[in-house]
Amino acid sequence: MCIRDSEQAVRLGMRIADEEADSGTDLVVLGDLSVGGTTAASTLIAALCGTDASVVTGRGGAGIDDLAWMRKCAAIRDALRRARPVLGDLLELLATVGGADLAATTGFLLQSAVRRMPVILDGMVGAACALVAQRAAFRAPDWWLAGQVSGEPAQGKALDRMALTPLLDHGLVVGEGTGALLALPLVQAAAALAAELPERAGEVPADDEDEGEERGGEGATGEEAAEATA
């Protein structure tokens, strides 16, 4: 994939996030449906965290055998050789070792943070895209939650780098948004409880605090956020 295709995919993800926010969506559950997606995601995480392929290579939901694991590890190691020289350009990084789906998801997460629309992440692919997006907008993880531990070592690396703690750990490895959906009732219950609690005396609402200060990235337009990935 060329850099132009990577940029178009990122902007597409941003437009989808804008459409959701404009339609009144107040929370997004992010999942992925792919074959081999964990290999590309592991490469991105290893490159951004500066770790070796063996540290981030898991066995996936299918539970691959040792031989398949070694082949996957070798593929990630080869991809890292191409990824490391382009770490300074996130669009080129996504074009080199990511793909249109990962680039679009990255753009979606970036613009969701700009529009202050919370996202529940699920699995390693979402965590990898979130880690790329964090490089463009450091405070963007303030609008994301990690729904479920996937059991993949790369996911743990990515979430630790973003200081995100998964809400659930049920040993679920199926992915496809399942873990994030399981965490959804917990998030809804917490939001309902917070809405009913009385405000403490002297507390300043978060919205009032935000009005008095400029927060990097959040006031940017979708066009500016896309440029930040370059």
Which residues form the catalytic set? 176
SS (H, E, C) the chain: CCHHHHHHHHHHHHHHHHHHHHCCCCCEECCCCCCCHHHHHHHHHHHHHCCCHHHHCCCCCCCCCHHHHHHHHHHHHHHHHHHHHHCCCHHHHHHHHHCHHHHHHHHHHHHHHHCCCCEEECHHHHHHHHHHHHHHCCCHHHHEEECECCCCHHHHHHHHHCCCCCCECCCCCCCCCHHHHHHHHHHHHHHHHHHHCCCCCCCCCHHHHHHCCCCCCCCCCHHHHHHHCC
> Which amino acid makes up residue 65?
D
- Tokens 């399981």 belong to residue: 182
Q: Is the separation of the CB atoms in 38 and 44 below 8 Å?
A: no
Q: Is the separation of the CB atoms in 125 and 31 below 8 Å?
A: no
